[in-house]
A = this chain, B = another copy of it.
Amino acid sequence: MKREYLLTPGPTPVPEEAYLAMSRPIIHHRTSQYRKIFEEVTTSLKDVFKTKNDILTFTSSGTGAMEACVANLLSPGEKAIVVKGGKFGERWEEICQAYNIGTTCIDVKWGEPVNPNLIGEELAEAGGGIGAVFTTLCETSTGVVNDIESIGRIVKRYEAVFVVDAISGLGADNLETDNWAVDVVVAASQKGLMTPPGLAFVSVSPKAWERVERSKFPRYYFDFRKAREGLEKFDSPFTPAVTLMIGLGETLKLINGEGIDNVLARTRRIARGVREAVKALGLELFAPAAPANAVTAVKVPEGIDGQALVKLMKDKYGVTIAGGQAQLKGKIIRVAHMGHITDSDLLAGISALEKALDEFGYKVRTGAGVEAAKEIFTSGN
């Protein structure tokens, strides 16, 4: 008998409230019953996004909504700036390339946040020819959180729209959409929102809507205008992922019941606990300068294969963490702490990590990590 702990940055564990609601006999989406759920979800998401902008819902992975941003905000021949400091920054570049958008990439060393001034310099140099700036709140592949507030202060002086992939950060790392002048935020259901994957969300500012109206790329399913029409009577343009929306309705009640700022504070505390645990074990953080609260990336000690470490933790201790992606394969491990992941889950995870490291011959003082984490967890801030 083994208890499983899912400590990955998406999907994250789903609360019982959502499972139970999703297990009730399915309902049809062209009913007042479903429209009420759609309306409630849309309203509740605004509190989490900290925005008064429209929030559009799509049945897709987060990547679908990222592509939707490129297809709706730009037109053939236009240019964009992409902040590229990990796999998900690269994804913006790949999507722009697929749409033949002239892309200026700001290459950031993996594990570091972008310097906002570099974006300002590129915008100034381009002299008004940039349609959008694509960035990432939490770069899940490296555990970095970017300074969205400072970037927003810069981009708002230009005609470019400011687009933030907050897929893994939302609900874990603070994002003040309106205060920080973020025109478009992309999110998904399976991270801080604690719902199974399959839903993606996009908030759209008035400045962004102007670009949507002008866009010349072919689009239908992901057409922001159709999604906005759907909001008029909360009548989805296409068959929505009914059960996932029902589940999300429940998790949003949990989030807004606790209050988004309390959720963020709790997440900040447990993230700090995990970082302290890691340091107490003599391990190095991969992103010490700007560690995200959604996920902690840790360098795997010399001589240990990170993939084997992940496998041992899963197979022997039932703890699922993530390894490194692309150039970081085998070199880092990533532990998530957002949504429904609790202090206790993380203590179990850290304990398993101690044991697994020991089995690979890495000397740790047993309990040192757990102790360090527990101290922060119980400190109340």
Contacts and interface: CB of A to CB of B under 8 A. Distances in A.
B19 A4 contact: no
A4, A22, A198 interface centre (most CB from chain B within 10 Å): A198
A240 B189 CA distance: 12
B6 A220 contact: no
Given A241-B244, A314-B31, A196 B63 contact: no
Number of copies of this protein chain within its complex:
2
A10 B241 CA distance: 11
Contacts of A28: 6, 8, 11, 320, 322
Given A98-B219, A99-B218, A190-B239, A59 B198 contact: yes
Contact of A6 (B27, B190, B243): B27
Interface string A223-239: 10000000000000011
A60 B11 CA distance: 17
Interface residues on A, range: 35 or more
B244 A31 contact: no
Interface string A25-46: 1111111000000000000000
A332 to B, nearest CB: 15
Interface string A183-208: 00000101000001110000000000
Interface of A: 4, 6, 8, 10-11, 13-14, 19-20, 22-23, 25-31, 59-64, 66-67, 71, 94-95, 98-100, 188, 190, 196-198, 217-223, 238-244, 314, 320, 322
